[in-house]
Amino acid sequence: MTMKIQGDGVGLAAEVRGRGDGPTLVLLHGYPDTRRVWDGVVERLAPRFRVVTYDVRGAGESGRPRPRAAYRFVHLMNDLRAVLDAVGGDGPVHLAGHDWGSIQGWEAVTTMPERFASYTSISGPCLDHAGMWGRDGAPPSARLAQALHSWYIGFFQLPLLPELGWRTGMAARIIARSEGMPGHGHFAPTLSRDGAAGVSLYRANMPDRLLHPRKRTTDVPVQVVIAEKDPFVTPRLAAEAPRPYASDLRTVRLAARHWAPVTHAAEVAELIAAHADEN
C-alpha cells in the first residue's frame, strides 16, 4: 500500500513490503525511474527483509518542485531522513541504490553513516569520488573512455532541449532501444514528466561536485556491483573511484547492462541480501 511521507517541502510516495519483523532495507531508484524499478528485486527480498521503496522528488507519485535548487543534495538527503524517520524502524538500516539512487546512497553513507548498517551501490558512483578520480587517479585513457560514456551529462546542462526530448518521447525510445527493453520496459506511465523534471538532478549537483569534489569517506560496509556492460558507467570508474574513501569495500562484477535491477533481478537481490546478512 502506498503511503505519503512529508519530505523537505515535498510529498513522497512510499511503500513498505515484505517481512514485518525482518531487517529494514531501503532501496533508492535512479533516473528516470520510479520505485517500480525495484519490483522484481523486492519480490525476491520480501520473504527475508522489510523493504522500503519510495519515489524520489521529481518522479512517479511524489511531488515535482520546479526550481533547480530544489534538487540539490541537501534536499535529497532531507527527504531520505524523513523516510527513515517515518518507516525506517529502530537502529541502522541496510541501503541499496541504483543509478541516481546509488549517487544519493553514497552521499547518505558519507554524511550520515550512523543511519546505515550496509550499502550496495549499482551503476552510480559518488560524484565527489568520480571528480577526485578524474582529477587525480585516472590515466588519460580511462578519463576519455568515461567521458565518452557520460556524453549525456553535458547534454543535460543545455536549456530546453533535454526536456523537449522527454516530452516528445524521443529520449524514452533511445533508452528502450539501447537497453533492449522495447515498449519502455519497466518505466512508469509518468516517464516523460519524470525525465523532464529529473534533469534538474544533473544541473543542480553535477557541475559543482565533479569540478570541485569534496573528500567523502565512510566506514559503512560498501558493496559495489559493477555492471560490466553498462553504457553509462565504466567498470574502471565503478571499481577504482571509491577505493581511497571506503574503509570496508568489496566489488562484485555482473554481466549486465545499466538496468541490472530489472534484467538481473534475482542476481541483484541475492547480492544485496548476502551483503546485508554479513553486516
* Residue showing cell 524499478: 37
pTM score, two decimals? 0.95
Rounded CA separation 106/38 (Å): 18
Rounded CA separation 92/229 (Å): 33
**Residue 95: predicted pLDDT:** 98
**Residue 174: predicted pLDDT:** 72
**Residue 183: predicted pLDDT:** 47
**Residue 178: predicted pLDDT:** 65
* Residue showing cell 525476491: 44
**Residues in the chain with pLDDT < 70?**
176-185
Q: Where are the beta strands (DSSP E) in 7-159?
A: 11-18, 24-28, 50-54, 93-98, 116-122
**Residue 168: predicted pLDDT:** 84
**Residue 137: predicted pLDDT:** 76
Rounded CA separation 261/15 (Å): 18
**Residue 177: predicted pLDDT:** 67
**Cell numbers describing residue 205:** 549537483
Rounded CA separation 39/142 (Å): 34
